């Protein structure tokens, strides 16, 4: 198996450390050198220019589904020209009454090369198989719904 390492770094930078005063902005550093600004969602006093953890989880699920689907399609000989997804995550209360990302809806739109598309049933099986084999989907309790467009 493999390991995936990240670091985060936050500094107060002289701002008041009060519930409404401290900055939620911080840096996400990835092992291969990429950096992103992380923050809380604006509703939780974060800044609009940072990626919040909820968005990151939604995009991780979307990306994992796509990468898994592309691998399966390639093995089956189905040629995909483009793939786009408009994923949406929903915060709500879980069974324990705690706020959680309770659902993620993926809305993938796939364009297959001419003469290479599976039939409707094959496309459903492709999405089902991608979901069943997605590492991230297998790691979370969040309900993931797939609505092909």
88 has pLDDT over 90: yes
**At how many degrees (to 10) do helices 120-133 and 53-76 cross?**
120
pTM higher than 0.85 for the full model?
A: yes
pLDDT at 149: 85
Confidence category of residue 1, pLDDT binned at 50, 70, 90? confident
Distances (CA, A) of 64 to 41, 94, 138: 22, 24, 10
What CATH number is attached to the domain comprising 117?
A: 3.30.300.20
- Asked if 36 and 57 sit in the same domain, the reply is no
- Asked if 76 and 20 sit in the same domain, the reply is no
- Asked if 105 and 130 sit in the same domain, the reply is yes
- Asked if 69 and 141 sit in the same domain, the reply is yes
What confidence tens digit (pLDDT) does each residue in 107-140 have? 999 999 999 999 999 999 999 999 999 999 999 9
Number of compact structural domains in the chain: 2
- Asked if 30 and 74 sit in the same domain, the reply is no
Contact of 35 with 29, CB cutoff 8 Å: yes
- Residues spanned by the domain of 19: 6-44
> What's the longest Cα–Cα distance across the chain?
62
User: Kind of pairing, strands 143-146 and 99-106?
Assistant: parallel
What confidence tens digit (pLDDT) does each residue in 42-71 have? 999 999 999 999 999 999 999 999 999 999
- Asked if 14 and 64 sit in the same domain, the reply is no
């Amino acid at each position: 198996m493999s390991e995936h390492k990240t670091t985060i770094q936050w500094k107060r930078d002289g701002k008041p450390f009060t519930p409404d005063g401290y900055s939620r902005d911080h840096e996400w550093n990835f092992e291969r050198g990429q950096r992103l600004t992380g923050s809380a969602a604006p509703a939780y006093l974060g800044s609009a220019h940072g990626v919040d953890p909820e968005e990151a989880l939604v995009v991780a699920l979307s990306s994992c589904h796509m990468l898994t689907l592309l691998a399966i399609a390639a093995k089956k000989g189905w040629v995909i020209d483009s793939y786009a997804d408009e994923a949406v995550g929903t915060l709500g209360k879980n069974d324990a009454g705690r706020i959680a990302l309770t659902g993620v809806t993926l809305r993938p739109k796939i364009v297959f090369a001419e003469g290479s598309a599976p039939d409707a049933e094959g496309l459903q099986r492709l999405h089902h198989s991608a979901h069943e084999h997605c590492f991230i989907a297998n790691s979370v309790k969040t309900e993931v719904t797939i609505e092909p467009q």
